[in-house]
Every structure is written in structure tokens, then in C-alpha cells.
Structure 1
């Protein structure tokens, strides 16, 4: 059964995956990898973008 999702546009820069973990190649003392969490700068980690503002022509 499909889930109901809100009708908000998905960020075009991250395609809805706003936070990723990147390994640095180094390891901690217990053997686990050192990772960095990076958020999408365009949507600031929300995965959605604001709708484009409607242009209003003023004057001639």
C-alpha cells in the first residue's frame, strides 16, 4: 500500500537525500571508519525546496 507523501517539491541538488556520510579512509582505534556527515547546502538538510515565487509584473 503506497504511503501518502506531502506535495512538496524534492530538492533538485540532492534528489531528496539531504544528508550523506563520507568516509575519510582513516580508522578509529576500535577499527571503525572515520566518517563525515555532510548536508545539502541548497536545502539545508531538509530534502525539499521552497516553491518558486510567482513573478508579478509591476508597471509597463
Structure 2
């Protein structure tokens, strides 16, 4: 009996699967931790995958 493998998730072409990043703002808080902000990919909204076929440079 053949075993079917599930299809691989489509990786977002805009971020290559790295959908969320933390960017340091350069300062430190009172405890000495770096202050960071989180940026999400605008194409996949932070998931790293797409459900529909998109091309680079295409507009939604």
C-alpha cells in the first residue's frame, strides 16, 4: 500500500520563511536588557507560509 506524504507548505517568497524578526532600537532598559521591536512580514502576516501562489513583484 502506498503511503502519501502531505504536501510541503508553501514558503513565503517575500521573507523566505523567516516571517518575524526582532530589531534592536539601540537602547537598554533599567534591567540592562536590549529594547527590541518585532517586525512581521507584510506578505504572509508573520506566518512564513502562503496559501496562494504569489510571484515576486506582484501586487495584491
TM-score, normalised to structure 2's length? 0.71
Cα offset, 1:8, TM superposition = 1.9
Matches within 5 A, 1:11-50: 11-50=12-51
The answer for unaligned runs of 5 or more in structure 2 is 54-60
Shift in Å, 1:32? 0.6
String of CA shifts for 1:24-58, please: whole Å, max 9, x gaps.
00100011100001111100011011223xxxxxx
Hey, which bits of structure 1, 4+ residues long, moved more than 2 A?
A: none
Runs (5+) with no aligned partner, structure 1: 53-60
- Structure 1 CA distance for aligned equivalents of residues 48 and 7 of structure 2: 12
Higher share in strand: 2
**What TM-score do the two structures reach when normalised by structure 1?**
0.71
